[in-house]
Chain A
Amino acid sequence: MSPEFIIASIVTIIGLTTPILLAGLGELITEKSGVLNLGVEGMMLMGAISGFVITALTFNPWLGVIGAAAGGALSSMLFAVLVLQLNSNQVATGLALSIFGTGLSSLIGVSFTGRIVPQFGSIFPDVLAKDPIWKLFFGYSPLVYFALIMVPLTAWFLKSTRAGLILRAVGENDHSAHSIGYSVTGVRYAAIAFGGAMAGIGGAYFSMVITPMWAEKMTAGRGWIALALVVFAGWRTGRLLAGAYFFGFLMWLELFAKANGFGPSLPFIQAIPSQFWAAMPYVMTVVALTLISSRGNVGASAPACLGKPFLPST
């Protein structure tokens, strides 16, 4: 294997990982507050189209990313109002959000099909960003670095800040949090909005970074992988990062097994059908969830209030 091949592979894996890492971090915060939002795929698509439309109108990808975050967060509010205000079933509401986001993004996208939007320039000087070796560190879209910065920030937020502590308390025991005066509903609104914004940015990675064009359903089910990722990680930030890259690696193996006959050959990988690799993230998630559920000593557990509506006794 040539160094060029290895560098190209790493660049591909990082590209595959970034959207699920972004959406996964958002969903992690949402789930930590005790809310299961299955609408990730819909929110990603709403973010993808919002980011694309704003960039197409303003010719500024930075504004586009803000638009993507806003689009994702706004669509998540539909879910939040139903779930938090009207105590609707979280599973059904989340699924409805996924279907809704898929449909609405397709509809909005019709008049933007075929347009090409300006892409991010490199945030590092070309000497580094275009260098065949250094581009491994400096040659990515700003969203890649944003995702990586958000990992320690999320971990720090959850572990070391007061707000993070309240968020976890709300997710672990909503009634206690309520009785000592915290607004369970308020915290969950914020957590759902953050989840929506991050999913939106993750979706924008497809419409603004991978291709500068819009295509219907372009996130291609990655929202569901992001959802799996949070479970696979056992609701831990560090494991989420590792899991995201592991899933990214599996997705790369899938692409590689599909492209049989192109580029260098890795007989071991190509002997196994690409579908095997494509199914792996989901299979691994079921296995991880089983391990988490069957024994308490794997250092991870689902937030105790996950998916349950909060009904104050007063």
Chain B
Amino acid sequence: MRIKLEKRSVPSTFMLIATPIASVLLTMLIGVIVFDAIGIDGQRAVVDIFLTPILASYKWQDVAVKAAPLIIIALGLSIGNRAQIWNIGAEGQYVLGALFAAGVGIAAGPTGGPFTLILMILAGIVGGAAWAAIPAFLKTRWDVNEILTSLMLTYVSFQVLGFLVGGPWKDPNGRNFPATAPLPESLTLPILFQGTTVHLGVAIALILPFVFWVLMSKSVFGFQIRVVGSAPHAARHGGFDAKQTIWMALLIGGGMAGLAGALEFTGSLKAINLGFPSGYGFSAIIVAFLGRLNPIGCLIAGFVLAVTYVGGQVAQTTVHIPNSTAGIFQAMMLFFILASDILIRYRVRFIPKKTANSTEAHI
């Protein structure tokens, strides 16, 4: 038997939805096999990483808080990816967002109220967008590859953070530990449910996907992004400005990452230290792909990734595997989703061996 790929006339909607689900299930299956092979209780590890956070209600708040930044960043990145603009520097834009928010908070002093808090969040969006504006400027002006510049700038942002929290912004009462002073109560995001850690940012992360969905499916801008990505020549003929699309894609991606950083800072961590960049910006790329660059897909995929983060911490204590093991599962999901992309545009045909053999027999 021979396997042949046939191009579909229309991309398969069934495969578009089925493959992410299959990827998650396959990851769990392979996880059990691989973990058993290296002498760890695979079933227990996979159950703890993928199911315990869903089944144990006291873990729900952790999942929600972790999902929020992943969803928000992924929404912005999906716009870029749809237009074939590859911003992989969301981690740096996330850092800059938090730093801008912190800067406004510090400038306002400890007496700030809700107005200052709103200003801090807006500053976060501006900070992330400003950091993404560098690759956008270089790309539109000199056609400099945005993949490489946005990635490099991420590592620059870590040093900017290190300098600020270890120098000018260091908490004077912090025992010389490189971190900003904790935010006063009045400058932290309100908690949605008393007694939990679920803050206003989670609500924003739940609402934004629907805003983006309307934006992408009902507006001219959404149409422009889709056309530029799928048919650049047609887009040029249609009068859509390629440079404008690049700017929009990167500014929205950066702005969303900055918003996520500001929300994480004001809602969750309340102080910035060297551990602030925790990889959300990179994991959000997985979320965007797993969610098929669809806003509602990103919402669901953000929760899936958040489950593996929380589950990784569970497995750390139950089966004694390092926290970063969750990364293996996250990467496997991305591997499977990327591998299955081909099924959307191609149909797999199994050609019986008989016909193939009969021609070879004469040679």
A positions within 8 Å CB-CB of B: 36, 38, 78, 82, 86-89, 91-93, 95-97, 99-100, 102-104, 106-110, 216-217, 221, 224, 227-228, 231, 273, 275-276, 278-279, 282-283, 285-286, 289-290, 293-294, 302, 307
Contacts and interface: CB of A to CB of B under 8 A. Distances in A.
Interface stretch (B139-147, B206-214, B264-272): B139-147
Interface residues of B, number: 47
Contacts of A88: 338-339, 341-342
B248 interface: no
A228 B141 CA distance: 21
Contacts of B110: none
B70 interface: no
A107 B321 contact: yes
Given A86-B338, A95-B282, A97-B331, A110 B320 contact: yes
A282 B334 contact: no
A28 to B, nearest CB: 14
A210 to B, nearest CB: 21
Contacts of B159: 275-276, 278-279
Nearest to A90: B147
A26 to B, nearest CB: 17
A38 B153 CA distance: 15
Contacts of B330: 99, 103
A46 to B, nearest CB: 12
Task: Kindly name the residue among B134, B166, B327, B341 whose own CB sees the greatest number of chain A CB atoms within 10 A.
Answer: B327
Contacts of B321: 107, 110
Interface string B279-299: 000110110010000000000
Contacts of B152: 228, 282-283, 285-286
Contacts, number: 137
B148 A289 contact: yes
9 contacts: A78-B335, A93-B338, A99-B282, A99-B334, A107-B321, A110-B321, A283-B156, A286-B152, A293-B145
A128 to B, nearest CB: 39
Nearest to B39: A111
B6 to A, nearest CB: 14
Contact of B327 (A86, A89, A103): A103
Nearest to B322: A106
A282 B155 contact: yes
Contacts of B289: 92
A177 to B, nearest CB: 22
Contact of B331 (A89, A96, A278): A96
B104 interface: no
A86 B344 CA distance: 12
Contacts of B331: 96-97, 99-100, 103
Contacts of A91: 86, 88, 147
B155 A92 contact: no
B222 interface: no
Contact of B138 (A38, A96, A99, A286): A286
B325 interface: yes
Interface in B127-168: 134, 138, 141-145, 147-149, 151-153, 155-156, 159-160, 162-163, 166-167
B145 A289 contact: yes
Nearest to B332: A100
A66 to B, nearest CB: 21
A227 B331 CA distance: 20
Contacts of B138: 286, 289-290, 293
A8 B286 CA distance: 44
A96 B335 contact: yes
A285 B152 CA distance: 8
B249 interface: no
Given A88-B339, A228-B148, 13 more contacts: A87-B342, A92-B334, A95-B285, A99-B282, A99-B286, A100-B332, A107-B328, A228-B155, A286-B138, A286-B149, A289-B138, A289-B144, A294-B142
